[in-house]
């Protein structure tokens, strides 16, 4: 009945609001908060027939008492409703001896925690499953947390209206009937995701993440097999005034019923995509196999798009008409081997997109295999088939009968951690961020040395020429020796 049998490790909860430091040993997995439980917690060590519970310990911390809580590792059931967090900062660490995890489970009846405005909860080394959404109106940090849903149960993982950090964590298997299977961001919330994996989540739109407003910053992470089963944004959907920044992220195998197999934006704010990889994403009955960008200004640099598919237009990228002089800019990117059922197997962008120093080739479509109508070149591109592209004299182009060969190899897998060194602690599942790339084929590939106004690094963070100089390689990958 009690947790005395779980003596293999510990879960730590600490808060420092008052001078001094005391320790509480939580020695019961039961979800209770009686006077007896709180007395046991106040003693700081287990007592015969005195059982300190997690809920009782957090109640004391919420009152401003300075305690460090040690939970004997086991499976903690949260059955009496979510545990409210009102303290300035609470840290719950379930690492124990690092060999086995501490599990928090709610039996699908409750959320584990609700974080109130002005409070902050830090969760570390935990497995959280079978719970209603974590509700954050203050600050919430998930570090080395495995957050597991159930596709047969309709719920999000997290509702965020505050400041949310997801670091070195996994969110998998959530199925929402509203939006944002993993994370629903609203009320000007701030979401930061680093070194994490978001996979196998579903929702009507924004299969993994839906952001109504606020900011969304994602770095060194991996989105795979998420799905928007009714509308757009297989992995991510943004709207309102959401400001999006995505760097060193791989999107693979995400699906949207309508637009944006990986990412769909209908908001008016700006977006930045740097060193990103989009492979095998699909818009099943819409446009933009990887990206659908309806409004806002977006900058895409050092990106690779391959094997994405759209039923209608824009096998890789679809961008809507410009509004209030808002444009999409694509620089030093590679768009190859994508398909669209109608126009623009690579890119479809009616008067909306400007592209330079990039490769758009080997794509297929019902019409205009590489470019949809009125794609604007700013120079130094390679277009396999020029139909639908407004080219500049510095572009290299082919025709439908004689496509221009960009001199790229087949797809290769690239693991940034293996090249640059892994700084990510692996606790539950290894957090990987593999990207698929196309390398130029030396010595005769036309991409070699053809770029101008160079950026300092390529998609793999390999140095190019000093920024703004000419002579770097076209596309996302730099291989020419300087």
Instruction: Give the total number of structural domains in the chain.
Output: 1
Query: Does some domain include residue 432?
Result: yes
Give Cβ neighbours of residue 237 (< 8 Å, ≥ 6 apart): 179, 180, 205, 206, 209, 210, 211, 228, 231, 260, 263, 264, 265, 266
Beta carbons of 344 and 372 less than 8 angstroms apart:
yes
User: What is the model's pLDDT at position 418?
Assistant: 52
Domain that holds residue 330: 270-482
The pLDDT of residue 16: 34
50 in a structural domain: no
Q: Residue 247 and residue 302: Cα distance in Å, rounded?
A: 10
Task: Tell me which residue of 253, 174, 248, 159 sits closest to 208, measured CA to CA.
Answer: 174
Q: What is the pLDDT of residues 9-44, one digit of tens each?
A: 345 554 333 333 456 677 788 899 998 888 888 765
Q: Within its chain, how far is the Cα of 51 from the centroid?
A: 40
Paired sense of beta strands 10-14 and 67-72, if any: antiparallel
Q: Which residue has the higher pLDDT, 48 or 76?
A: 76
In this structure, is residue 285 part of a structural domain?
Answer: yes
pLDDT at 100 over 60: no
3-state helix/strand/coil string of 278-310: EECCEECCCCCCCEEECCCCEEEECCEEECCEE
- Percent of the chain whose pLDDT exceeds 70: 84
Classify residue 32: in a domain, yes or no: no
Does residue 96 contact residue 126 with C-beta atoms inside 8 Å?
no
Which DSSP letter does residue 356 get?
Answer: E
Evaluate whether residue 243 is within a structural domain.
no
Nearest in space to 476 (alpha carbons), one of 298, 342, 278: 278
User: What is the residue whose two structure tokens read 């009320």?
Assistant: 187
408-414 and 435-440 as β-strands: parallel, antiparallel, unpaired?
Answer: antiparallel
Q: What is the mean pLDDT of the chain?
A: 85
How far apart are alpha carbons 155 and 183 in whole angstroms? 10
406 within domain boundaries: yes
Question: For residue range 448-479, what is the model confidence (pLDDT) as tens digits?
Answer: 999 999 999 999 998 987 767 778 999 999 98
Of 140, 137, 132, nearest to 188 by C-alpha is: 137
Tokens of 276: 């990103």
**Which pLDDT score, from 0 to 100, does residue 1 have?**
33
Instruction: Decide if pLDDT at 322 tops 90.
Output: no
Q: Is the model's pLDDT at 106 over the cut of 60? A: yes
Above 60 in pLDDT, residue 273? yes
* Gap between the Cα atoms of 253 and 286, Å rounded: 16
Residue 336 covered by a domain: yes
With 50 as the cut, is the pLDDT of residue 98 above it?
no
Given a cut of 90, is residue 423 above it in pLDDT? no
Question: What token pair was written down for 93?
Answer: 């660490």
Give pTM, 2 decimals: 0.91
CA-closest candidate to residue 181, choices 245, 255, 280, 77 = 255
The pLDDT tens digits of the residues spanning 194-218 come to 999 999 999 999 999 999 999 999 9
Q: Which of 65-79, 151-165, 377-391 has the weakest average pLDDT?
A: 65-79
The helix (run of H) or strand (run of E) holding residue 367 is: strand 364-367
Sequence-separated (6 or more) residues with CB below 8 Å from residue 414: 434, 435, 436, 437, 460
Residue 250 lies in a domain: no
Kindly state the greatest CA–CA separation across the chain.
86
């Amino acid at each position: 009945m009690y947790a005395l049998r779980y003596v293999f490790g510990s879960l730590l909860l600490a808060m420092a609001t008052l001078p001094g430091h005391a320790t509480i040993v939580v020695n019961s997995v039961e979800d209770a908060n009686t006077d007896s439980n709180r007395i046991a917690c106040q003693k700081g060590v287990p007592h015969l027939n005195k059982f300190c519970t997690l809920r009782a310990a957090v109640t004391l911390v919420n009152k401003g008492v300075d305690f460090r809580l040690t939970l004997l590792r086991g499976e903690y059931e949260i059955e009496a409703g979510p545990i409210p967090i009102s303290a300035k900062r609470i840290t719950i660490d379930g690492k124990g001896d690092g060999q086995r995890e501490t599990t928090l489970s709610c039996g699908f009846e409750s959320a584990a925690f609700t974080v109130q405005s002005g409070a902050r909860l830090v969760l570390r080394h935990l497995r959280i499953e079978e719970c209603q959404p974590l509700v954050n109106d203050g600050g919430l940090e998930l570090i080395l947390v495995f957050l597991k849903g159930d596709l047969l149960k309709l719920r999000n993982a997290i509702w965020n209206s505050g400041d949310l950090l997801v670091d070195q964590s996994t969110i998998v298997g959530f199925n929402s009937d509203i939006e944002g299977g993993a994370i629903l961001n609203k009320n000007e919330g701030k979401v930061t995701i680093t070194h994490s994996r978001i996979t196998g989540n579903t929702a009507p739109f924004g299969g993994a993440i839906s952001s109504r407003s606020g900011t969304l910053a994602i770095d060194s992470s991996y989105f795979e097999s998420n799905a928007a089963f009714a509308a757009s944004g297989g992995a991510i959907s943004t709207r309102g005034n959401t400001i999006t920044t995505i760097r060193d992220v791989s999107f693979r195998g995400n699906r949207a019923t309508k637009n944006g197999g990986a990412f769909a934006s209908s908001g008016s704010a700006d977006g930045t995509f740097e060193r990103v990889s989009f492979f095998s994403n699909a818009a099943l009955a819409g446009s933009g196999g990887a990206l659908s960008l309806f409004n806002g200004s977006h900058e895409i640099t050092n990106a690779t798009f391959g094997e994405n598919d759209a039923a209608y237009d824009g096998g890789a990228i679809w961008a809507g008409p410009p509004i209030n002089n808002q444009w999409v800019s694509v620089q030093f990117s590679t768009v190859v081997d994508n398909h669209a059922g109608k126009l623009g197997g690579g890119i479809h962008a009616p008067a909306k997109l400007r592209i330079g120093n990039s490769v758009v080739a080997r794509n297929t479509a019902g019409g205009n295999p590489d470019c949809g109508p009125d794609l604007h070149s700013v120079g130094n591109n390679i277009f396999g088939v020029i139909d639908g592209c407004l080219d500049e004299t510095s572009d290299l182009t082919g025709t439908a009968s004689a496509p221009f060969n960009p001199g790229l190899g087949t797809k290769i897998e690239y693991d940034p951690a293996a090249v640059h060194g892994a700084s990510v602690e692996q606790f539950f599942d290894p957090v990987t961020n593999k990207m698929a790339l196309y390398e130029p084929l030396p010595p005769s590939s036309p991409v070699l040395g053809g770029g101008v106004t160079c950026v300092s690094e390529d998609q793999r963070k390999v140095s190019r020429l000093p920024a703004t100089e000419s002579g770097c390689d076209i596309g996302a990958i730099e291989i020419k020796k300087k």
